[in-house]
Amino acid sequence: LYVMGIETSCDETAVSIIKNGTEIISNVVASQIESHKRFGGVVPEIASRHHVEQVTVMIEEALHQGNMTITSIDAIAVTEGPGLVGALLIGVNAAKALAFAHNIPLVGVHHIAGHIYANRLITEMKFPLLSLVVSGGHTELVLMKEHGVFEVIGETRDDAAGEAYDKVARQLQLPYPGGPHIDRLAHEGEPTISLPRAWLEPDSFDFSFSGLKSAVINTLHNARQKGEEISPENLAASFQASVVEVLVTKTIKAAKLYNVKQVLLAGGVAANKGLRWELEQAFLDFPDIELIIPPLHLCTDNAAMIAAAGTIRFQQGKRSGLEMNANPGLDLETF
Ligand code: ATP
Ligand code: MG
Ligand code: FE
């Protein structure tokens, strides 16, 4: 069973072919970071234009690298949402055109379901499982009792983890996207600056990162007013320590409460070295829970993860018609 995945929700034009839901045949990504960098963030109109230029090139490249023709593809999975509407539309329309022209079944996929299913490319999923989703637009704890069914037990009330990383990086005059730069700096510094941890209500699995972001900004302002030097390395290390401590603590608490067999890390911030390390250390105390951490290229946006989630939906008999539209507000629990 060969499924082609197409992903254009943000600033990566990505196409992948996977076999039987788990084996990557080809996986190509055209990143637009260079075009958005000078604006300090993703410019939606520029993103859409790049996707238009790249999407058919990437489709051909994925087929070429897999040594395949479109006629041997059994289903086309495409990110239906959430994301930038103009960006999503390019992938959705490319997928619909291919499906129509070659009479191939079409399956719409939720981008976050994709991030979670990146884990199925490296291991078998065992239920119940908990996924910690940390990305540019999402920070969620997702409980899964079976394939394709998602229960959000906690989510951010303000900024997403990746968003907080990018905003703090901007304050430190680091290039976009700032997450990897903060990660690198954090490893060169020590968490010497006291910053808040947003635990929220004692039984809540929700997150909040805007207070932490403000605390970082205030620390920088106060130091500047007093003419003091702040070590960017120590500030990055202190910020990262706060983010990681809350993420790891809440993940462990939820994993125990719901008695899960696996914990899957997902989303772009899953590439964070500090988070990966602390999660690994913390789960040493819970040998009955299997911790799965995908390789870096499957954490950030890619289409193999969309094909992986799409394969399950296809096998469950779910199909999208040609009336499928990009849906920037697509809901994970009901899509
Ligand atoms: P979403 O998946 O919520 O729609 P997105 O697709 O834009 O958002 P991803 O591509 O999954 O987000 O992740 C991008 C985010 O990951 C950016 O905010 C980036 O800074 C962050 N990120 C990438 N690498 C690291 C790292 N090593 N440390 C921290 N953050 C990182
Ligand atoms: Mg991106
Ligand atoms: Fe993403």
- Average pLDDT value for residue range 11-21: 97
Identify any residues that bridge with 292 across adjacent strands, giving them in sequence order.
264
Does ligand 1 lie within 6 Å of residue 164's CB atom?
A: no
Handedness of CA 132, 135, 140, 146 (dihedral sign): negative
Rounded distance, CA 45 to CA 273, Å?
A: 32
Identify any residues that bridge with 154 across adjacent strands, giving them in sequence order.
141
Ligand with minimal distance to 82 CA? 1
Rounded distance, CA 246 to CA 241, Å?
A: 9
Residue with tokens 């992948």: 16
pLDDT at 220: 96
Residue with tokens 């890390």: 265
In Å, the largest CA–CA distance within the chain is 68
pTM: predicted TM-score of the whole model, two decimal places: 0.97
Residue with tokens 């008695």: 259
Record the tokens describing residue 146, joined without a space. 């079976």
Residue 322: closest CA among 74, 98, 113, 6:
98
Angle at 182 between CA 176 and CA 186, to 5 degrees: 170
Does ligand 1 lie within 6 Å of residue 156's CB atom?
A: no
pLDDT tens string 123-134: 999 999 999 999
Rounded distance, CA 2 to CA 294, Å?
A: 22
Rounded distance, CA 61 to CA 115, Å?
A: 22
Residue 303: closest CA among 131, 58, 100, 57:
58
Residue with tokens 């989630």: 309
Per the prediction, the chain carries an average pLDDT of 97
Share of the chain above pLDDT 90, in %: 98
DSSP string across 82-115? SS-HHHHHHHHHHHHHHHHHHT--EEEEEHHHHH
Bridging pattern class, strands 23-31 and 75-81: unpaired
| Residue 135 in marked binding region | yes
Count other C-beta atoms under 10 Å from residue 196's C-beta.
Answer: 12
Distance of CA 33 to the CA centre of its chain: 16
Q: What are phi and psi of 23, to 5 degrees?
A: -105, 120
Residue 138 pLDDT class (50, 70, 90 cuts)? very high
Bridging pattern class, strands 139-144 and 129-134: antiparallel
Nearest CA to ligand 1 atom 9: 268
pLDDT tens string 143-192: 999 999 999 999 999 999 999 999 999 999 999 999 999 999 999 999 99
For ligand 1, mutation pick of 7, 8, 9, 10 (most atoms within 8 Å of CB):
10
pLDDT at 295: 97
Ligand with minimal distance to 84 CA? 1
Share of the chain above pLDDT 70, in %: 100
- Average pLDDT value for residue range 330-335: 96
pLDDT tens string 271-294: 999 999 999 999 999 999 999 999
- Regarding an ipTM greater than 0.95, the answer is yes
Rounded distance, CA 33 to CA 53, Å?
A: 15
| Residue 242 in marked binding region | no
Atom of ligand 1 nearest to the CA of 273: 27
Residue 134: closest CA among 318, 16, 275:
275
For ligand 1, mutation pick of 36, 165, 242 (most atoms within 8 Å of CB):
165
Rounded distance, CA 247 to CA 279, Å?
A: 9
